[in-house]
Structure formats: C-alpha cells, structure tokens
Amino acid sequence: MRQILSNIVTISIEVITAILAFIWLQRTGEEEPKIVLVAAIGALITSILVRRTGNKPKITFYLERTGVQSSPTRVSRVTSRVSQVGEMSGEKDITRTYKLSIVNNSNNTAFNPELYIHQDFKKIIFTGDFSASEPIAPASRVEIQLKWARTIEGSPRDFENEIKIQFPKEFDNSFRLLISYQDENGKNHYTTLKIENNKPENRIHTDMDRDLVKVKVHKPLF
C-alpha cells in the first residue's frame, strides 16, 4: 500500500509539473518552459510504462523428488495372475515425497500468494510455512513438502519401474499446480507448474485456469 501511494504521489507531481510548464509556455513563449514541459511529459510517460511493465513479480516453481516408499506386496483385491516369467501379480501402496520450491525470480514483491491444484490431485498433502498473508520477497523462496500416495497393481518388475521414475504416470500432461499472486498495484499474475514428458515445466500467464481447487498447506508439526 505504501508503494502504491508513493507511485500515485510521483505521477501526480509529474502531471502538475507538466501543466504548470504548459501554462508558463502559453504565457511567455520562452524556450525554458518548453524544455521543462518536454522533460515533464517524458518523465510521466516513463513512470507510467515502468509501473505497467516493470513491477511484475515472477514466481517460478521447482519440484524435485525427495523420497519414495512402498508397502509389502499383497494379493490384489481385484486381480491375481501369474506372468509369463512366473512372477505373481499383486498390489502395493507407493508413497512419494517431493520438495516444492516457490521462488521469486524478480526484484518485485509478490503479494497475496495462493496455491491451487487440479481437482484430480487434491489428495496430495502439502506441508510447510506458506500463507497468503505473507508476501514473497524479491529473490526469496518458500519450500513446501508434497506427499502423494497411491495403490498400484502389477508384477515385481512393474513395481520396480514405477519406483524408478521421477513422477508417476498420472502426472504426465495432467498435473497442474498454480500460484496466483499480485504486484504492488494489485494486478493478478499466475504461474502454472505442469509435468510434461516426466519433467516440470513452468508457464507464466495472466488468466486463471479452470478445474482447480484451492490448496490447504498444513503447518509442520516440528
């Protein structure tokens, strides 16, 4: 709010300066007020352009796997079969944990940050110190832990392959995590994290995606 008021005062002074220089020029026709008028108009245009384009925060997501755990194999409640190599199929609970880093890669503060996720992934558990009331300062980061648990069916080889990959197959081209945030003028900006070809990809845009639900970030116990 203080920065917004400062911007208003600065632009107001430049407008008043331009008006006074114009009146001075009209009355005297001298060269000096003409120079002042040109300088005032130039300063005003520069201020408006800087405030329209130069105050945008830029949030980037970084996502890396930090661990994976699996339960003992048990007989599937749905299917039970033996593969061609004699491996008994079954089911396992696979739990993955990730470190999500939310980084402000700009010189501008990101205000009122809020997280949203595609509704198909609303069971992911988020834990960390994150709040919409706490702005993300320039060149700073917020770290959150993500936990994703699921039950899969298959052979021991299927389980081995599943554990090796960075992201589960469901994430590819379906996972979407969005953060909304505002610049100092209250304008909304958005960054979306997607998983494409098993790699995280960021997209910065100015419109809100659909099919998203708000994320609740749990405070860490310790």
Q: Where are the domains of the chain?
A: 2-53, 59-218
pLDDT of 84 reads 45
Check if the beta carbon of residue 136 is closer than 8 Å to that of residue 78.
no
Q: What is the C-alpha to C-alpha distance for residues 146 and 15, in angstroms, rounded to an integer? A: 50
Beta-bridge mates of residue 63: 100
Per-residue pLDDT of the chain (222 residues; tens, 9 = 90+): 445 555 565 667 767 777 876 777 778 877 787 777 677 777 767 666 655 555 789 999 999 999 999 988 888 765 555 444 456 688 999 999 999 999 999 999 999 999 999 999 999 999 999 999 999 999 999 999 999 999 988 888 888 888 889 999 899 989 999 999 999 889 999 999 999 988 999 999 989 988 999 999 999 887
Q: What is the C-alpha to C-alpha distance for residues 162 and 152, in angstroms, rounded to an integer? A: 9
Q: Which of 76-101 are b and which e, b meaning 16 or more Cβ less than 10 Å from the residue's Cβ?
A: beeeeeeeeeeeebbbbebebbbebe
Q: What is the C-alpha to C-alpha distance for residues 215 and 217, in angstroms, rounded to an integer? A: 6
Q: What is the C-alpha to C-alpha distance for residues 96 and 36, in angstroms, rounded to an integer? A: 64
Q: What is the C-alpha to C-alpha distance for residues 200 and 196, in angstroms, rounded to an integer? A: 6
Query: How many CB atoms are closer than 10 A to CB 46?
Result: 12
Q: What is the C-alpha to C-alpha distance for residues 222 and 99, in angstroms, rounded to an integer? A: 17
Residues found in the chain: 222
pLDDT of 206 reads 87
For helices 31-53 and 2-28, give the axis angle rounded to 10 degrees: 160
11-17-19-23 Cα dihedral, nearest 10 degrees:
180
- Give ∠ CA 192-198-201 in degrees, rounded to 5: 25
Query: How many CB atoms are closer than 10 A to CB 8?
Result: 10
